[in-house]
Structure 1
């Protein structure tokens, strides 16, 4: 069976992606850029680019002599990215990270911001990253760690508990939850000088209702799955997520911790 990346993220709601996730993505991009060690003139590929936030940061580093190619499996996400005038220096392309449409040694850097966990086969994706990197090239990636230290992966996990048929797919988004696992994947793909560290950030919401509002509206993978549930299941999932927070989510503001693993390796 052909292996592909998960595609439904924001099929119907890509225009709301930045409003919901922009500050989350922005919080970890400096760490991604730090380990990517991108310099002027580099050719950079951003896989699972979403609306292009990490690609924009890379474009500032490579300057006019460099090249930024950014790809995603979601054509809807790419439409949003292309409409942003701040992305004018970026070449966007529809692609599947398991089978990159580029020749060997095409890029100096491959980056992937919070996207690798959406691959059905992360090991195959990393092998593709290495294939398209030139000798001495470098990959840099970030992934969520445990569901308990995530913003929205925890909601996917709870939905999986209530809908067993969805559990395997939804739990995959938290499958690379330890530094040891990410390090093993990078080594397994043939990368050397592998380094993995964690970055913990806290995000503030006015209330639990404010935090959950995007999911209620069907935003993201968690939201898309949530709105498909029956009213009873939606209530059960919402309450279980609420109870997962200190003081049963009654604190205002609600502080949500998110831990991300930042990994890198060279060819």
Structure 2
């Protein structure tokens, strides 16, 4: 069955969802995006994702998204495409304006608004569950991105290259290192357990303040853990009791090896287990 896509106010078949060749996202990566996880046919944490979409639009001086309308579109696409376990992808760009020019176009050109869904295959879900149980490997890479990583922009080439390095080395994620500190992953936020406390890089222009990151910080504090938002020294990885990633699709994932070296005893630790359980309970409460 052909899936349905929402594009610029219309629901159309996936294969007929087309944009002009001079679309600014295609030429300049001039746009923003969000990804929402669907569990049991219901979107998870949709409201904070919409709020971040609005913030990203404001930072790039794009028109403010219609969050109420996008929420209705989300639910209709989930129903039309019969998504039980999957994701919803949103992209808003400055739209089509020709001829190509760097400066913002003048006139009344409309933004391009795209929403599409992707189901998660049973085998992918099974692999993800295995990774949650056993943990994953990561590598470290130098930070080479721009200084506005707080904007969820479609300009992701450094992230793509870092992730590819991880894949080629048999790892799940690449961790960016800036000025001697591990700050975040190519598609995730990073947390360490040091001396019994949870440490994660502070929300600022150098990282994306992940929706799952925010949820996990709140949950950890509710569970009685101390959470400190400060840098994780690269040199401190060797003495971490635990290291873990958070992201919309990743959820709460233990990192058991970095650059071939074990983290803690090389297994998923009690802090991650507790946070995974709390996350699952939040999903089940949808």
Which category describes the TM-score, using the shorter chain as reference length? under 0.3
**TM-score scaled by length of structure 2:** 0.26
- Choose between structure 1 and 2 for higher RCO, CA contacts under 8 A separated by at least 6 residues: 1
Pick the structure with more strand per residue: 2
Pick the structure with more helix per residue: 1
**TM-score scaled by length of structure 1:** 0.27
Greater Rg by CA: 2
